[in-house]
Every structure is written in C-alpha cells, then in structure tokens.
Chain A
Amino acid sequence: MTSQANLIRTTYREAMRQAIREAMQRDPRVFLMGEDVGRYGGSFAVSKGLLEEFGPERIRDTPLSESAFVGAGIGAAMGGMRPIVEIMTVNFSLLALDQIMNNAAAIHYMSGGQFNIPLVIRMTTGAGRQLAAQHSHSLEGWYAHIPGIKVLTPATLEDARGMLWTALEDPDPVLIFEHGSLYNMEGDLAADAGAVDIDKAVVRRPGTDLSLITYGGTLDKAIRAAGDLAAMGIDAEVIDLRTLRPLDTATIVDSVTRTHRAIIIDEGWRSGSISAEITARIMEHAFYELDAPIERICTAEAPMPYAKHLEDAALPQPAAIIEAARKMVKGDG
C-alpha cells in the first residue's frame, strides 16, 4: 500500500516522459529518435525538455521518413543499442510497416537466432481529438497479427510509467501504442512507481454479470459505463488487456467463465479486428460457459470523420456499452 504522502499528481504524458528519462539514466545504450522529438519536444510534448537534459546525441530529431528512421532503429538495436523510436501517429507507421514487419519482427527468425532486435517503437493511436482520418485510426489490432513483436497498449498512469522499461529489457521488438486522448489524463501515481509486467491482462473492476473487455483509449469509457450499469443493478467486470500480443487468453477466459457474458470494446474497425480475435478465443476456450452471444462495440467502418458530432458517433461510447450490456443481461423478455 502506498500512503498518501508517496503519491504524486501527474499526467499520462508526464508519466511517459518520466519513463523515458529513467530509461536514459539507467542505461547509456538507450536513446530516443523520431520526428520532432528534440527541439519541438515531441508532437504530443512527451519528450519536452529531454533534449536539454540529455543532449542531441541521445534525443535525435529525424527526417520525415518513417521507413528510414525505423530502419535505423533496427540497425542500432542489432548493433547493441536500446533505441526508442517515436512515430508520430499510427497512421504514419504504415510507411514503416515494411521495416517493422519484414525486418524487426523477422530478423531474429531469419538469422537463425543470431540477431535479436531489442527495439521499442512508441506511437500515438486513436481518435477523439478531431484529428480526422489523417491521424486518428486504431491499427494496433493489425500489429497484433504479427508474430515476432509485442504490442502494448498502456491505459493507465502505472502502465505509462512502467511498461517502457520492461519493453526495453525485452530482447525482441516491442510496439507501444499510446492513445492520444490519454496524454492529458491526470491522476495520482506512486512516487516510486516503476517497471510493470507486459504480458498480463488485468481486472480493473471486478464484477459478476458480464465482462467488458477492452484496452487503451476505451478502458475509461468501459469503466464509466460499468459505473452507470452498477446503478442499474448490473455488475460489470472490466478487463484491461494491456497487451494485445501476446494476448492473455487465460485472464479473458477466466473472467468469462465467471460472468458468462462478454462485450468487447475496441476502437479498431470491427472486421478482422482484435475484437474478432478475442471473440474467437472465447469461443475456443469458453463456449460452454456463454449465456449470451458475445457483443462487440467497435468504431464505425469508415475513415475517421473530422466533424465532432460525426467523430463521436463513429467511436465506441459508454452509452452503446450500456445499451448492449442491458440487453445482454436483462434480455428483452
């Protein structure tokens, strides 16, 4: 237990920055590179002040070429460094998909185990800030398809603070998806908060009637929906997946085995999504525990609209979660 005195008021952004700072201090092989991470302080201000603190050798601004600087990161990792590569948003990561998938994820295998790629790639994902179809998509579910990498989706201050170090310790490439709506999230964090595991899902709110399974930017929506559902007499459990690859099937199955109902909330598009994968795993492992068909709340299958009301309508919202949960638990009879 942490006493009140040991808590500090912080934000997700500051927690992430603190994680980078600590990694730089602990390990001289760690450096950060990406577009505007240095003098501009990062597109989302995560690395603000780090250039002054660590100098241009370790906080490196790169040209606007995702393919080039992710490739450079892979090379640096092969050469013994521990690079943190920041990609501005997930949309732009597709320019580096070849490097991520065909090199970073595969070299360890293709080299017969001679080369590990201890590379960490951070990027912003998700919508909700009127950044439209250029900057708002949620493609982490896509990346979770690729063997050879890990896909992390920190949704809390603790995970923002603690996942990076564990990711850097990992001998293989790790992708960290930071939902853009979380950076300003404020809360109390233990002053001595440190590394956390990156392979377990966590029950953020225990419940008995159904499981809300989610991650990243929709975790808070699910928790708010669970609060409203409690007032309606529906006791929802909320699972924060934390890591999309490898997926913690055991925690999901354990929860559904207790609640017998599941709603998956995923900001990705529905077709071929991580929510589809989770659904399949529940079917494979807990079919006979199900008391209702699995439901999914996903983003409308369209490029993300710019207009606020359209963007809101396209995204998973607590109201939709509540409606689905009510129908599932109370039925229509």
Chain B
Amino acid sequence: MAEFRMPALGADMDSGKIIEWRIKPGDKVKRGDIVALVDTDKATIEVEVFENGIVESIVVPEGETVAVGTALAMIRGEAEAVAPRAPSPTPAAVHKPAPPSPAPSRAPLRAEPPSPPIAIVPPPAQAPAPARRSLRVSPLAMRVAMDLGVNLLSVKGTGPDGAITRKDVEGAAQAAAQTAAPAAAQAQPPAPRPGEAIKVVSMPRAPAAGDRQAAMRKAIAAAMGRSKREIPHYYLGTQIDMSAAMEWLRAENLNRPVTNRLLYSALLLKAVAIAVRQIPEMNGYWVDGVFKSSAAIHVGVAISLRQGGLIAPAIHDVDKLSLDEIMVSLRELVKRVRAGILRSSEIADATLTVTSLGEQGVETVFGIIYPPQVALVGFGRIVERPWADKGMVGARPVMTATLAADHRVSDGHRGGLFLAAIDRILREPQKL
C-alpha cells in the first residue's frame, strides 16, 4: 500500500489545494496517469501518479488545502491483496494478539508469513508501511529539499534517530538527476520532461483572483526577501550596440510569414544562453553554502502578469534551441503564464533568469536574483543614441544590459566577461 502525497511543485510551495479528483476508489491507475488537479499559489497543476495500482481510498476530499507531503490517497500495488484498513495501518499493534492457533485458517496473502518461505512476490517499489511516526527532517535538510525540489518522503534518513539530513537530501537529488538526465536529453524541447509528475492543464475552477494575487505577492515577497537577505548582489551594466542584431532581424523577418517572425527577445535569450556556457559561474544554484553549476542551461524568463505579480518560468536548454524553437517556447510560455497554467518543470528548473523590462520603456534594470539561482540578466529598452565607432559618430540602436550576480559565486571580473560575451554574440546575430 502506498500513500499518494501532495507533491512539492517548486521552492515556494508549501501547500496545495485539491481542486478535483480524477480518480475514485477501485480505479486502476498506472504510472503517469493524471489523478488530481491541484491549485498552488501560482498555478493550477495536473498531478500524475508515480506507480501502478488500484485506488484504495481518497483521503483528502476536494476543496481541501493540505501541506506538501500530506497523504492524499491510498494506492494499492497490483500484486497486493486488499488491505484491512487504510491509511497508515499499524500492523501488529492494532490487532489484538491472536490466540495461538496451530493452523492459520485465514491463509494470509499479506507478508507476515510463518517461517516456511511462502512465495510472496512483493511488487517492486512497494514499501511496507511500518508504524508511522512523524518524519524527522533537520531544518537544513528541509531547506535544501525545498531548494532542490526533493520530495522528502522518498528520502531515507541516515542521521541521528534516522533523521533526514542534508546529505540524504542531496544524495536523493543526485540520484533523481542521474535517472532523469538521459531521458531528458531525448525529449523534444517543448514537451514535458519524463519523470515529471505534472502536466499542463487549464484552470477549470480557479480560486478567486484576489486570493491568488495575494498568495503570489506573498511568494514573491518570500523569494525576494530571501534573496536580498542572503545574496550579496553585485551589479554590472554595459551598453550594447544593437544595430547588427536589429538589421539582421529585419532582413530575416522580411523572408518570413508574419506568424513566424522573430522577436529580438529570442536573440537575447539565445545570446545569454550561449554566453553562459563560457562563464558557467552564472548558471546554477547556490545551495547550502556551495555553488553547484548546472550543465543544462534553463533560462527563466520573467513575465509580468496583467493583474500584477510576475513569474519566471524556464525555457529548457535554451543554448540548444534554434531561434525558432525559442520563439515557439516563448509564445507558449507567455500565453500559458497569462492564463495561469504552468508546468512544474518550468516553475522549478530555471538555472538563471533574464528580465526584459524594455517594453515598459525603462533603459536599465537592476535585478534581484531569484534564489537559489546566482545571476539575473536585465535588458532595457532599445533606444537610438549617438554612438562613436572608428572615429565616427552615428545614431545607433543601443540597449543597456545589466547583470545582478551573486558575489559568493563570482566576482565582477567574471561578470564583466559574461556581459562582454553577450555583447559580442549580439554583434554577430547570424551565428545565432
């Protein structure tokens, strides 16, 4: 018997609301089936089940909000017999001590065999539920689990009294990354990555907009407050001559149907992704006093919402995407963000963030890093400015690029190289 629990869908989620069950007791489910619709502070998410089995019972009814990790439903493994009670049986303790009977008449299918080895085939990954006690997790491990998006219920504790420690969480995250990586490599960019418990879904019965806005404000406050508290930001800025990029874009778009035209945002995202390959200190996470650089480059794109608030979901592997693919992802993303529909991988996976406030008309962005990331690139409006080049002054489209970076991880010198690389790449747009 396995408990199906409220998953953690991102660093700032600590509870979720069951909007709708898609299963009922007796239903057969298999790994990947969507079983419930869960509402979080930021989006409504379809939650998948991890294992095959039969729904034994629904524990948390629709409409209820519960903490991450709470058992939502009981799912019986396929090879398991009907359990006497659910959830969380405490086997021996509950039953009265049976009088010693020489021949057990109720031949049990359950795994409490007498000494002769009865052939019991436990389904894989089925853990016998021992007498439950509250999960022991160190405060640090809890924090790291939130940062890494690790489900603590799947972690085995090795600390004092079996407590889950940081090492256990990091080990689990590493194991998960190793199993997910090969599969992820095959996935087509816009497709959800395997191993993902969540898929995209529309919002049939969203909570009141005011509630969500307040919740989002709270989530932003928590993340940004933490960032300003913990991250020693340093800021750099440089002006980039965008004439080559804009010229190339204009020429390129002349040959494209209107629907396939490129926006310069795609160039910027790609340029950042390529540049960060050279300066890997900008890409990854600061976790528990240590920087972990990320091989994958998932660029978070800050998207403001019409009703206020913002969200910075990731476009995966931007450095490997063509400009067209980035455009597709970008359009998709903006559309879905504004509709309040997101994938959990988009919420959790960004390895650095780009914010472009240019459309609001500002020239310079002084960004706040989204923890546990370590860098944020800001792009301002493209403005015509006098620009001296080779002894000649002319009017050029100029954009200010800024970097907010974590000084624990990198220094201004490296940050400067990073901005310089972005500049260089944007001057050769044909190579993108």
Q: Which residues of A contact B (CB under 8 A)?
A: 257-258, 260, 287-293, 327-328, 331-333
Contacts and interface: CB of A to CB of B under 8 A. Distances in A.
Interface of B: 138-143, 156-163, 165-167, 289
Given A331-B163, A333-B162, A288 B143 contact: yes
Nearest to B162: A333
Given A257-B289, A258-B289, A331-B165, A288 B139 contact: yes
B140 A293 contact: no
Contact of B165 (A288, A292, A327): A292
A291 B162 contact: no
Contacts of A331: 157-160, 162-163, 165
B408 to A, nearest CB: 13
Contact of A291 (B141, B156, B161): B141
Given A258-B289, A291-B165, A327 B160 contact: yes
A328 B160 contact: yes
Contacts of A288: 139-140, 142-143
Main secondary structure of the interface of B (DSSP, over half): helix
A289 B139 contact: yes
Contacts of B141: 291
Given A288-B139, A288-B140, A290-B139, 19 more contacts: A258-B289, A260-B138, A260-B140, A287-B139, A288-B143, A289-B140, A291-B138, A291-B139, A291-B141, A292-B138, A327-B160, A328-B160, A331-B157, A331-B158, A331-B159, A332-B160, A332-B161, A333-B156, A333-B157
Given A257-B289, A258-B289, A260-B166, A290 B140 contact: yes
A288 B164 CA distance: 14
Contacts of B159: 291-292, 331, 333
B160 A293 contact: yes
Given A257-B289, A258-B289, A331-B165, A292 B143 contact: no
14 contacts: A260-B166, A288-B139, A290-B139, A291-B138, A291-B139, A291-B141, A291-B166, A292-B159, A331-B163, A332-B161, A332-B162, A333-B156, A333-B157, A333-B159
A65 to B, nearest CB: 50
What 3 A-B pairs have minimum CB-CB distances, sorted nearest first? Answer: A333-B158, A291-B140, A331-B159
Contacts of A289: 139-140
Nearest to A260: B140
A260 B143 CA distance: 12
Nearest to B140: A291
A164 B161 CA distance: 45
A277 to B, nearest CB: 20
Contacts of A287: 139
Contacts of A293: 160
Contacts of B140: 260, 288-291
A333 B161 CA distance: 8
A94 B413 CA distance: 61
Nearest to A327: B160
A256 to B, nearest CB: 10
A291 to B, nearest CB: 4
A107 B86 CA distance: 69
